[in-house]
Structure 1
Amino acid sequence: MRTTFHLKTLAVAIATLSVASVTNAAGLDRSGQDITAFLQDGTYAETVYTYIDADVTGIDNDGNESGDIAESYDFFRYGVKTDIGDRFSVGVLYDEPFGAAAKYEGDNNFTGVANVTGAGAIQTVAKTSAEKTQNKINALQGQLDSTQDPIASLIYQSGINALEQAAVGFDSLEESPSIEAYNNLIQATQQSIATSEQTIQNLVNLGLLTGDNLAEAQALLESNKGDLAQSEAARDAIQDLLNIDESTNVEVRSNTLSLIGGMKFGPENQFQVYGGPVAQRLQADVKLRGNAYKGATGYTSHISPDQDYGWLAGISYSKPEIALKAALTYRSEIDHTLTAAEYFPALAIQGQNPNSTNDFEITTPKSVNLDFQTGVNPTTLATAKVRWVPWSDFSIRPPVYTQASNLPLVDYSDDQWQVELGLGKRLAPALAVNGSIGWDSGAGDPTSSLGPIEGYYSVGLGAKYNVTENWAVSAGGKYLWFGDAEGSLPDGTIVSNFEDNDGYVAGVKISYQAK
């Protein structure tokens, strides 16, 4: 005789895996984009709170400890759905699918800016300025050699003398870089320009400098003033770098609202197709600090919130007599046009504008979720979840950063696979417990220095208590073992190593169901 597992009897035994389903997964994945609230029977509503605390520590290339870079965070998930007749259903789901929260602490290559970074910046300025000065000397020497005008010859020779003094100063600065020496060189240049201005004015007053010669002298003076302004801007940018006492940190937040409609079909309405529009909001803040980021140290970006739209679609199958439910859900990519306010000190050091606000594109990835459950016996339910996200297609490319480095700020090499298996058991008419094991593949190793985790293994426990016929409270927790990973820069340089890390996630769910 075939055993029948009625869903009403088994409802209390449904595993609470979705209470604490995802944390520090591959890429920027957070919530797992769970859709099971829509798949419940009758009228259903839930509120889920999740808290995540991970311990992610490592060392930089010099053996300095990173501190715990994974900041604890929490988020809510909401869902409500109802049936309209026997065949139609509508629902609304809210979650926070993608995010990051990382911050380095302590004395390491990801905090502040040590003298080596400032010295390197000064040497870069000195070398570039020396090359530019020598080119100007060569140009003036050519004009001096070709002119027969004695006044013009004096102008060219005076310019050459001043530039040769500056070249000596830049050579000295490259050999012994310090902000004090740079300030002294700038002050000497300011005095030289002031002297040149006075000399030109005296020659004009005596009537010795007129016409083309006056225009030539003024053009040379303005060119030197422009070089001085660039040197002052570079000096200020280097001083900003030396004054930094912050640490590298990143925060990414997202919010998603999905409106879903479903239609059941088949002889016993066992099949359902569903889908609908998805609104998504995305924002981020990034600060790169310390010697690890080389020329990009000091980079700061505020990415303003943007809301854009995508869609989801899926199909489900149910067989109530054995408590079987299966659903396959696809979520589309969502293209965002974001505005990034960026500050890049390296550009000022190179004589360019370090501040810029521009629009750029980010495409959050598509995903496929498989949710499955089936009764094992009248009091036991087995569940499985599989998720795929192609993080290898994802990148963040703020305009100024990308133009300066010719690299993305963040990207990943592999796609994410996530698998979770669970078993729920009804212990009493109003009480059930469940256990789960899980695996996340990660998105490649080496991975970004802003999130150095290569997937995880997990074990979880949960319980559900039916307070009344309609109201229930669920609670669950998981322990996670994170995969070891090397942190790298976008150019592939390995800058850190993270091993033997772990974390936990806890969640509480309040749900209402009326069938």
Structure 2
Amino acid sequence: MKHYAMVTAAMLAATSGAYAGGVERSAQSVAILFEQGRYVELSFGRFAPDVSGVSPLSPGASSGDMAGDYNSWSLGYKMDIGDRMAFAMILDQPIGADVNYAAGTGYPLGGSTAKLSSSAVTALLRYKFDNNVSVYGGLRYETVHGEVSLPSVAGYTLDTNYDSELGYVVGVAWEKPEIAARVALTYNSAINHTLDAVETGPIPGSSDFETEVPQSLNLEFQTGIAKDTLLFGSIRWVDWTAFVINPDGYPPALGNLVDYANDRTTYNLGVGRRFNDNWAGAVTIGYEKSDGARTGNLGPSDGLKSIGLAATYTMDNVKITGGVRYVDIGDATTNPLVSGVFTDNSGVGVGIKIGYTF
């Protein structure tokens, strides 16, 4: 049952990370710390959103599908250090964006593009006490880079350097292996970046500005509810109101280039079942509340609902998990720069995770 619990945690990771709050690309799970023995895993995912809208300023003109498809990957390694300690290292991509408004459609932002990329390496240590409680923590080293082109805003462009900064992770967990129960609460600190930028447009030149990849709090849980059946899920809060991009050369009258009116809490819940020694399956649902506030033109979505299916095949020391997830992307109205109205949008994500114990 304990081994089955780890399989189901992998299912959630394979199907829940795409298109949640803000520009998030990784849910920053610490599930790898609870794998048995020495373990390595490699994950690949692809998410294909279909996001389009219209502007009241240009009747009949559509933005086209402005949210590009993207790939994601992660690599993790875990090893025990004696009977009480474990070490894990995780490479992933915490945040990202790929925006491309089609040119020639008559939409006011036609031809505008934006790209935000990141990478991070996280090192974690876990210590187990005698009462089924453990504590863990470590450091995250994160690199970010951004590019923006807004032809309709006086030809504004932005290109930043690759800036790398440190943050930290702390958490506490409780387990009851007899019923495959585990609760883990993890705090991820904010990481402050100072970006050097080259800008063209109304106020051309070189500048530097600060932006904060926000703090977050994760609650991950699972418990057996019947023979070979597990309930599992997560609650993730992110302080997105702290994420502001406001370069010196962006026209002040337009406000911030990127900001968020509210923080986000994303819920995921799933039920998994082991069918035999080799196969297990799960279904997951996800929810993020729509708050009704206007959004930025580089991220026109407000909340989500999702459903996912996953399956894991285990053979000796290898387990392979595949998942697919459908996301109903919440309707949004963008800020007054364009006041685009985005409705009836959705996306499909697929992922695969390969884990090996040795």
Q: TM-score range by the shorter chain?
A: over 0.9
- 1:77 paired residue number: 74
For residue 43 of structure 1, report the CA deviation from its aligned partner: 1.7
Asked if 1:47 is matched to 2:42, the reply is: yes
- Of 274-283 and 100-109, more deviation after overlay is shown by 100-109
SS of 1:410's equivalent in the other structure is: coil
Asked if 1:405 is matched to 2:253, the reply is: yes
- 1:36-115 equivalences under 5 Å are 36-61=31-56, 62-63=58-59, 64-105=61-102, 106-111=104-109
- Whole-angstrom CA distance in 2 between matches of 1:384 and 1:434: 11
- 1:261 paired residue number: 125
- 2:213 paired residue number: 364
- 1:485 paired residue number: 332
**1:93 and 1:257 in contact (8 A); partners too:** yes
- Of 25-34 and 84-93, more deviation after overlay is shown by 25-34
- 1:381 paired residue number: 230
Instruction: Quickly say closer, same or farther: Cα 1:12–1:312, change in 2 above 3 A.
Output: closer
- 2:156 paired residue number: 299
- 1:342-357 equivalences under 5 Å are 342-344=199-201, 347=202, 354-357=203-206
- 2:186 paired residue number: 329
Asked if 1:429 is matched to 2:293, the reply is: no
**1:110 and 1:289 in contact (8 A); partners too:** no
SS of 1:405's equivalent in the other structure is: helix
- 1:499 paired residue number: 343
- Whole-angstrom CA distance in 1 between matches of 2:241 and 2:322: 34
- Of 32-41 and 432-441, more deviation after overlay is shown by 32-41
- Whole-angstrom CA distance in 2 between matches of 1:408 and 1:487: 13
Q: Going by fraction, where is helix more abundant, 1 or 2? A: 1
TM-score (norm 2): 0.95
- The residue type paired with residue 220 of structure 2 is D
Kindly provide the CA deviation profile for residues 131-167 of structure 1, in whole angstroms up to 9, marking residues without a partner as x. Answer: xxxxxxxxxxxxxxxxxxxxxxxxxxxxxxxxxxxxx
Instruction: Quickly say closer, same or farther: Cα 1:445–1:8, change in 2 above 3 A.
Output: same
**2:12 and 2:233 in contact (8 A); partners too:** no
Instruction: Quickly say closer, same or farther: Cα 1:304–1:405, change in 2 above 3 A.
Output: farther
Instruction: Quickly say closer, same or farther: Cα 1:399–1:12, change in 2 above 3 A.
Output: closer
For residue 436 of structure 1, report the CA deviation from its aligned partner: 0.5
- 2:134 paired residue number: 272
**1:281 and 1:305 in contact (8 A); partners too:** yes
- The residue type paired with residue 365 of structure 1 is P
- Whole-angstrom CA distance in 2 between matches of 1:109 and 1:327: 46
SS of 2:162's equivalent in the other structure is: strand
- Whole-angstrom CA distance in 1 between matches of 2:257 and 2:231: 42
Q: Gaps (5+ residues) in structure 2? A: none
Q: Which residue of 34, 38, 49 maps to 2:29?
A: 34
- 1:139-288 equivalences under 5 Å are 247-267=111-131, 270-288=132-150
Alignment root-mean-square deviation, CA: 1.7
**1:413 and 1:444 in contact (8 A); partners too:** no
Q: Which residue of 163, 170, 186 maps to 1:313?
A: 170
Q: Gaps (5+ residues) in structure 1? A: 1-5, 113-246, 291-295, 348-353
Kindly provide the CA deviation profile for residues 82-141 of structure 1, in whole angstroms up to 9, marking residues without a partner as x. Answer: 1111111111011111111111114123356xxxxxxxxxxxxxxxxxxxxxxxxxxxxx
- The residue type paired with residue 478 of structure 1 is R
Q: Which residue of 406, 415, 418 maps to 2:266?
A: 418
SS of 1:495's equivalent in the other structure is: coil
Count residues in correspondence.
355
Kindly provide the CA deviation profile for residues 17-63 of structure 1, in whole angstroms up to 9, marking residues without a partner as x. Answer: 10121222221112112221122232221111010000001112212
Percent of paired sites with the same residue: 35
SS of 1:370's equivalent in the other structure is: strand
- Whole-angstrom CA distance in 2 between matches of 1:302 and 1:510: 36
User: Between Structure 1 and Structure 2, whose CA radius of gyration is higher?
Assistant: 1
SS of 2:281's equivalent in the other structure is: strand
- Whole-angstrom CA distance in 2 between matches of 1:256 and 1:443: 30
Q: Going by fraction, where is strand more abundant, 1 or 2? A: 2
**1:257 and 1:279 in contact (8 A); partners too:** yes
For residue 363 of structure 1, report the CA deviation from its aligned partner: 1.1
**1:460 and 1:476 in contact (8 A); partners too:** yes
SS of 1:321's equivalent in the other structure is: helix
- 1:25 paired residue number: 20
Runs of 4+ more than 6 Å apart: none
- Whole-angstrom CA distance in 2 between matches of 1:336 and 1:10: 37
Instruction: Quickly say closer, same or farther: Cα 1:375–1:31, change in 2 above 3 A.
Output: same
**1:381 and 1:425 in contact (8 A); partners too:** yes
